[in-house]
Structure 1
């Protein structure tokens, strides 16, 4: 019953000073909303990065030339140190129980034509396992087969936007196109894929067998990358060590400092990015938490004013038998109510702002329970911490002096 009476008196006090109560609560609302919004944006960015790396392929290790990282092979440029021999060595010597697929990859930007339409796009030479590693899907037709690969067939699979650019509403499958002046038959079109981990656009690519690419377009047996897809994240570090040993053996390298290749571990990169994003998110949340501190100081100031205004009321209550603990609890509970209500409103406002920013800026925002629980807990603690001193001051008032107070 005592708690119910205290609550009634607290709400009576709030209703008597609506503007003051609102301004007191506003500091907490702004602080909590800022924490929830910034942490949601941080989580959203982290999720977006994870999604982009997942689109590169699951549990992926990438081998590329130390001096030819991701660079197309063009005349006059340094040649990649990665070759078909490396691909064959990795395919043969890696533990097959730990590997889903080993995929060679070479690319070049070339002119592609169909009747009067033409475009400059990236042509990829790869193997039939590429579709497994990248987990891409076909809108129509098929990806090229092992027979097409071994026979160096002139067949092509188009990215979605390339197909639209060249063919419009016409069905591309079965049609012939010219890639770098050489006639290829279109056997498939990919579903819209979008950005490949934020680095390249799968929709603006054409895929052909590597054997055909090297004989007809590139010349030579050089590769840009070799992709190795592991069966699980648990074996990736072990596989990376095996890959490095096989590559050194293939390149006749005895000193690791002289490696002319790099093995990139997807999990290592993702872990580093996540740590960086987590640090940034906590930093931003820390800045936003300053608003909570300011809000807490505001609560303490207003509660001190509240105590001063109600000294005579406190004196009367103590004179008729109210204990100090009762007075302490009353003022402390008023402080906590203001803080908790501000926290709840701030959480709702923070979620709303995160969605607004997501809609208008294109940034990702993921609202999780962690910032909500954290904000609610902190707002309650702020109410207790900053409300305790004014409440204790009220409870320690001498009833005789309080009744004399003007």
Structure 2
């Protein structure tokens, strides 16, 4: 019986192709909008996660709290974080839970090679920075532990800095002037691009922290200390231990008076993901209004369909068709229309998300969730909005139906 009803529904659709298309159009648009927006939202979420991962895996960042413990050194702000804090963390933290502990400080300075010069960011750090960022050296080497401890005047260039200063010339072994001080180029990094969307690693120069503090900065102050944990499971414990060590070191008894901040990458990422999920659901909710409009369109067309086929219904009832068969007939037609519209909408949504990705540069990731959700909702829309017209058709009196003009 069900197969027969489906055949009848398809025959009816073939007879009224334009009406069928217009009926499904609302569902197609609604489902396509939901799939497209949720794909763009998921793509943005993945991009944010990738950018934070590029900052370093399972990262804790220690930096001075703005307005506290800040003075002036050579006219520039002095950090409340120093080499002593870095050494204390190296000594007191459980190194079995840590991939790397890396000191970091930076300054924008003038860099020259012969007639070429550029203003770029110079980073003072330790050799473990390579492990923190998982960056690779294209040619030459990163500075070694011996060069770090010996405060050697050696530099590793980002790819764009090397291109700006040296063009097609090999930088390795050449001398450059950083803030008027001669440094030997020992390495060039592979192109890295944006660092978490915040800075460009290709436009940086890396030198030993000890050299940076003696020759460029003055003093033993740090912009930050990075602590990379072995897994997300130990990050909260490490954060608490870092705070405990630094409070002891800075003689702070009240946490409200901390002159430092320990930033947990997982906490930030979790907050961002929650915000993105809320935004994505909000956009999907707006798009779902189209599904509601499409469902109302289905009900409207099906009511018209019932009115046009009253005599047919009367004849079927007169020859013995039960009310539930009439109900099934019109309900199946409604469900087929909405499911077909859902499938076409899913395909259109996938195509649209990729087109938007290509032309706008936004990231789009199509997952199973919006596809299944859209398909399920479109089927439910067909049942919900198709039930009343089908019920109305099933309750028609056969005699009145046969008399209907």
So what's the TM-score if we normalise by structure 1?
0.97
Does the 8 Å contact 1:68/1:80 carry over to 2?
no
Shift of 1:6: 1.3
Aligned residues: 403
1:1-400 equivalent positions in 2, closer than 5 A:
2-67=1-66, 75-400=74-399
Does the 8 Å contact 1:31/1:289 carry over to 2?
yes
Query: Which whole-Å deviations, capped at 9, do the CAs of 1:306-331 have from their partners, x for residues lacking one?
Result: 00000000111111111111111111
Residues 68 and 102 of structure 1, relative CA distance in 2, 3 Å threshold: farther
Residues 239 and 221 of structure 1, relative CA distance in 2, 3 Å threshold: same
Does the 8 Å contact 1:328/1:391 carry over to 2?
yes
Does the 8 Å contact 1:68/1:81 carry over to 2?
no
Does the 8 Å contact 1:102/1:228 carry over to 2?
yes
Shift of 1:116: 1.1
Shift of 1:78: 2.7
The secondary structure found in structure 2 opposite 1:82 is coil
Query: Which whole-Å deviations, capped at 9, do the CAs of 1:113-142 have from their partners, x for residues lacking one?
Result: 111111100000000101101111111111
Shift of 1:68: 7.2
CA distance in 1, matches of 2:311, 2:144: 91
The secondary structure found in structure 1 opposite 2:78 is coil
Q: CA RMSD in A?
A: 1.3
So what's the TM-score if we normalise by structure 2?
0.98
For structure 1, the residue ranges without an aligned partner over 5 or more in a row are none
Shift of 1:101: 1.1
CA distance in 2, matches of 1:318, 1:44: 54
Query: Which whole-Å deviations, capped at 9, do the CAs of 1:69-119 have from their partners, x for residues lacking one?
Result: 9x9x97423311010000000111011111111100000000111111111
Does the 8 Å contact 1:68/1:79 carry over to 2?
no
The secondary structure found in structure 1 opposite 2:339 is helix
Shift of 1:8: 1.7
Query: Which whole-Å deviations, capped at 9, do the CAs of 1:308-367 have from their partners, x for residues lacking one?
Result: 000000111111111111111111000001000100110011111111111111111110
Shift of 1:67: 1.6
Q: Which runs of 4+ in 1 moved over 3 A?
A: none
CA distance in 2, matches of 1:137, 1:15: 63
CA distance in 2, matches of 1:296, 1:77: 64
The secondary structure found in structure 2 opposite 1:365 is coil
Does the 8 Å contact 1:81/1:260 carry over to 2?
yes
Does the 8 Å contact 2:30/2:345 carry over to 1?
yes
Query: Which whole-Å deviations, capped at 9, do the CAs of 1:27-69 have from their partners, x for residues lacking one?
Result: 0001000000000010001000000000000000000000279
When structure 1 is superposed on structure 2, of 339-348 and 75-84 the one drifting more is 75-84
Does the 8 Å contact 1:74/1:108 carry over to 2?
no
Does the 8 Å contact 2:28/2:342 carry over to 1?
yes
For structure 2, the residue ranges without an aligned partner over 5 or more in a row are none
CA distance in 1, matches of 2:36, 2:170: 46
